[in-house]
Amino acid sequence: MHKREDIKRISEFFIKSNIDLPEVPGIYAFWWVGDRQKLLDSNRKLILSGPQKTPVSVFLDDWWPQELNYPCLYVGKSTNIKKRFSQHIRRGSRHRLHTIEANGRKIRPVTSSCQLRYGIEHIFRDEGNPLEVIYDEVGFSYKTYSADNSTVERFYEEDYLIGKWRPWFNLDSER
């Protein structure tokens, strides 16, 4: 999933109004495939809500493992790769979905299933069209499982990849 040939730009998955992805269980990853300096020049300050609502300041550092071709932004699991991909992108909403606070405090996303969209809107706080950034600068890869594959196995693989690849948008105060 992390090899260059496994990762395609988001825009490559769209055929007119259709999404060219399978509707099966699997794990997936979003990658920054654009200019790395643009990513590193973004708004990387984040304030999470810690225990008893105590603010926890985090700086999203350039901490990706060297064996990765691209920085990993988000790792997830799903019972339907195509549906989950669509929920992350929210391409029906061309304008911003979230108003990011100037101090970097993480707000509640519009839905609990659009972490990629929220993350892009957070780090590119002044970007008027976050979908353009997602289409042009973000890649996607996935690994499918048979329908009888255990949900528990996907959970452990997702957790393993989060620990190994250290994606920015999987960060919360519980990990």
Q: List pLDDT tens digits, range 9-43.
A: 999 999 888 999 999 999 999 999 999 999 999 99
Is residue 150 within 8 Å of residue 26, measured between CB atoms?
no
Q: How far apart are CA 161 and CA 62, in angstroms?
A: 17
pTM over 0.85: yes
Give me the CATH number covering residue 99.
Answer: 3.40.1440.10
Structural domain for 101, as ranges: 4-170
Q: Evaluate whether residue 175 is within a structural domain.
A: no
Q: Evaluate whether residue 13 is within a structural domain.
A: yes
DSSP, res 91 = T
Side chain identity at residue 72, one-letter code: C
In this model, does residue 173 exceed pLDDT 50?
no
Question: pLDDT-derived band of residue 46, with 50, 70 and 90 as boundaries?
Answer: confident
CA proximity to 123, closest of 41, 32, 33: 41
Q: Evaluate whether residue 87 is within a structural domain.
A: yes
Backbone dihedral angles phi then psi of residue 56, each to the nearest 5 degrees: -120, 110
Q: Evaluate whether residue 30 is within a structural domain.
A: yes
